[in-house]
Copies of this chain bind each other. A is one copy, B any other.
Amino acid sequence: MISPKELIAMHEAINIAKNPDTPKGPNPRVGCVILDKSGNYLSRGFHLGSGSDHAEISAIKNAQQDLVGATMVVTLEPCNHSGKTGPCVEAILKSGINKVIIGQKDSTAIGSGGGAVLAKSGIEVIFSPLEPEVSAINPWFSVAMKQQRPYLRLKLATSLDGRIAARDGSSKWITSSAARRLVHQFRTDSSIILSSTKTVIIDDASLLARNSDNDLLKIQPQRVVLGRSEIPQSHRIFKEGVAPLIYPHHDLDSVLADLWSKQFNSVLVEAGPRLTTALLRSGLVNEVLWFQAPILLGDQGLAAVLDLGVETLEKAHKLHPYSVEQVGVDTLTTLQIPVVN
């Protein structure tokens, strides 16, 4: 049974989660409110991104009063695992809270099961009826849980005629510095940057994320490289940051399953035409981020998208345009591919 005061508190927790200062990824945004037995606010908490306290811990720490008999209202099911921080379930049990209202079930590989553990320990656990509103806080995270694999965004940067390099292979830089800065924001919001050995070798790409001051982020997305080509140890990907994960194959389903099991929820792909095309054919792409520079390279340039197996117009790959915006002199078209139930 959920009271009107608790329902209002869930709306409040949703608003806290949506705080514009909270990073949009790679961790889901979570808001938490603690109420006393009479439904009065005791404290609030939210999650500020990887490495910082989860919203539940933050709310418990922020409380000035004793929490015995209190109610926690939280947008996402409390975790039952120790990641970079301790498990929330443990902290809740210790606090004396005896009722937990949850906005959205956590069905990630590692995060799930917190509600069941709490219930077994005698805590009243209720899922609120506001699931759609809560899912909308972190649309990519909700999609990832629905499909039980990471949300996959595919970035392309091409000329207006769809080429990623001129005839001689030159490609630095097709897009403007404004577009490249935005790519760093996309990297920052992702838990994985995925590329292929060929692209890493050819571009000597570090695939690291930088902040708006162009400094390397302290907590970097994990870099993942697919393929059998040997990357020289002198390449930048080995010189800077934590070593990349290398999968010596292109079995995309198994790579994504493995990353999901390792608690990675969102992947940004920055790869060459072969991996890009394989992903488009696989149906695993959730979102396409396509930067186009106002230049033409002609058909002697390298095509961004190779053979999709499209024989006739009716069989074209259809995407859902979501937004189009100018980024410096370039255009960014964002397209989404809905998950088939």
Contact = CB atoms under 8 A, between A and B. Distances in A.
Interface in A272-318: 277, 280, 290, 292, 294-301, 303-318
A329 interface: yes
Query: Which bracket fits the contact residues of A?
Result: 35 or more
Interface string A182-207: 00000000000000000000000000
A162 B165 contact: no
A53 interface: no
Contacts of A93: none
A333 to B, nearest CB: 6
Contacts of A251: none
B331 A308 contact: no
Nearest to A303: B299
A175 to B, nearest CB: 11
A307 B329 CA distance: 24
A321 interface: yes
A296 B313 contact: no
A308 B296 contact: yes
Interface in A315-341: 315-321, 324-326, 329-331, 333, 335
Contacts of A331: 321, 324, 331, 333
B335 A294 contact: yes
Interface string A170-185: 1110100000000000
A108 interface: no
A249 interface: no
B162 A316 contact: no
Interface in A43-65: none
Given A159-B316, A166-B315, A294-B333, 17 more contacts: A161-B304, A167-B312, A294-B319, A295-B316, A295-B317, A296-B308, A296-B310, A296-B319, A298-B305, A299-B306, A300-B308, A300-B310, A300-B311, A301-B310, A324-B325, A324-B326, A324-B331
12 contacts: A160-B333, A161-B304, A166-B312, A166-B316, A167-B312, A171-B313, A294-B319, A294-B320, A294-B321, A296-B305, A296-B316, A298-B309
Among all A-B residue pairs, the 3 with the closest Cβ atoms: A298-B308, A162-B162, A170-B313
